Amino acid sequence: MREFASSRATRRGTVTQRFTVDGDTGLEAHLGAVCDRVREGFARIIPPRELHGVLLGGGYGRGEGGVLRSQDGDMPYNDLEFYVFVHGSTLLAERRHGAALRELGHALEAFAGIEVEFKITSRRTLRRSGTTMFFHDLVTGHRVVAGGGDLLAGCSHHAKAASVPLHEATRLLMNRCSGLLFAAERLALRKFTAGDADFTGRNIAKAQLALGDAVLVANGLYHSSARVRGERLCALAAPERLPDFDSIVRLHREGVAFKLQPVRSAENRAALIARHGEVSALAKEVFLWLESLRLRVQFDSARAYAASRCDKCPEMEKWRSFLVNFRWLRSAVLWNPPLRHPRQRLLHSIALLLWEPAAFDEPKILRALASELLRPVTEIAGAVAAYAPLWNRFQ
């Protein structure tokens, strides 16, 4: 804490582009000082002929970074995500500089007070890639840390909200529902700590935001700014066949507030269980509504969704799915659908683990879950333990 407070005082001058909506001048100056150190670090690691530029993405790059209030002043909360644009091969750049960049990130974390990440990419990669939620956010909301203003030339197709595909909303919900699953595991612990409460509260808030965001993607109204998304959701008419839209809007509003001004949850277990139950139940409704819309198959329950044989990842090319299966799952491709992307395993598994706990009393469902997770499962803790590494790999 003392190091953080002193580092903020070293920054001089006026901050012209904000990192946060309403963080104090000390926090803004501190984050600017972190960017200065990033520039200095890159000058030592990557030769100028290889480096095209560096962007700060995420909430702080968009000017909506989280502000954690404290007695010592405002503090950062979210990770700092820097995107390193290189000339030439990103794979080669990763081999040459990846280790040094990771060391730089670790070295900066003590100064920054939060996690610092570097991701290597290139303008060529961005130009050729299809639109994703991540690319949309980066192109439409970022801060240039190093390099010229031409870093994103030719990437304007990512800026169109209507181009963000439905499967991106599915992926978002899968990841945020995974957070709810891991939070449920914490809530079931015999000893529930303050750290568990903070983890649970944070993942509930992320899921709240994702529910409304998924609805916006489905209506071509997504935006990189959380505040703009909140306004658009409030102005949207209730989508057909989506129940309790008013609750989705309310929870999304709370999620936006948490994103901008996060707090470390001090709620007791009972209060968090109630909040978790409400958000999880609504997440199921949004998930099934979205998947019915996306796949053009009506899913009336999570169990029916997991049992359906329709391809849950039709956007993935078959040959790519086969290669991913063969590379990471090897022998599994011999007795499981080799042309289905492994993310389908996660979609089926999260539907059963989060919304069908009674499945653990039914041998048939257990066998299906074991097939998805590639190991025998007999109880929820073991199933979540098997799910976690697959999620880390294929999310």
Residue 127 has pLDDT above 50, yes or no: yes
349: number of Cβ within 10 Å: 26
Q: Which pLDDT score is estimated for 59?
A: 95
Cα–Cα distance between 67 and 75 in angstroms, integer?
Answer: 6
CB 375, CB 395: distance < 8 Å: no
Cα–Cα distance between 73 and 86 in angstroms, integer?
Answer: 37
pLDDT digits (tens, 9 = 90+) for 12-69: 333 358 999 999 999 999 999 999 999 999 889 999 999 999 999 999 999 999 999 9
- The dihedral built from the CA positions of residue 295, 352, 174 and 388, taken in this order, carries a sign that is negative
Tokens of 381: 């803790």
Residue 364 has pLDDT above 70, yes or no: yes
Question: Which of 351, 197, 377, 378 shows the shortest CA–CA distance to 270?
Answer: 197
Cα–Cα distance between 211 and 248 in angstroms, integer?
Answer: 7
Question: Which of 166, 183, 170, 133 shows the shortest CA–CA distance to 305?
Answer: 170
Least confident of 247-256, 269-278, 313-322, 357-366: 357-366
Q: Bridge partners of 51? A: 86
Q: Report pTM.
A: 0.89
Q: Bridge partners of 120? A: 84
Residues 162-300, CATH architecture: Up-down Bundle (1.20)
Q: Do domains 2-159 and 162-300 have the same CATH topology?
A: no
Map residue 153 onto helix, strand or coil. Answer: coil
Question: Which of 122, 127, 130 shows the shortest CA–CA distance to 317?
Answer: 130
**H or E element that contains 54:** strand 51-56
Q: What is the arrangement of strands in the sheet containing 51-56, beginning at the earlier edge strand?
A: 116-121, 80-86, 51-56, 143-147
**H or E element that contains 118:** strand 116-121
Query: Hey, where are the domains in the chain?
Result: 2-159, 162-300, 307-395
Residue 279 has pLDDT above 70, yes or no: yes
Q: How many CA atoms lie within 13 A of 359 on its CB side?
A: 26
- Domain 2-159 CATH (choose: 3.30.460, 1.20.50, 3.30.300, 3.30.70): 3.30.460
Question: Which of 141, 140, 144 shows the shortest CA–CA distance to 159?
Answer: 140
N-term to C-term CA, the chain: 34
DSSP for residue 190: S
Tokens of 142: 């970022």
pLDDT digits (tens, 9 = 90+) for 169-223: 999 999 999 999 999 999 999 999 999 999 999 999 999 999 999 999 999 999 9
The residue that leads in pLDDT, 187 or 359, is: 187
For 176, counting Cβ atoms within 10 Å of its Cβ (0-12 exposed, 13-18 middle, 19+ buried), the class is: buried
Q: How confident is the model at residue 11 (pLDDT cuts 50, 70, 90)?
A: very low
What phi and psi, each to the nearest 5 degrees, are found at residue 64?
A: -130, 35
Tokens of 303: 């169990």
Cα radius of gyration rounded to whole Å, the chain: 22
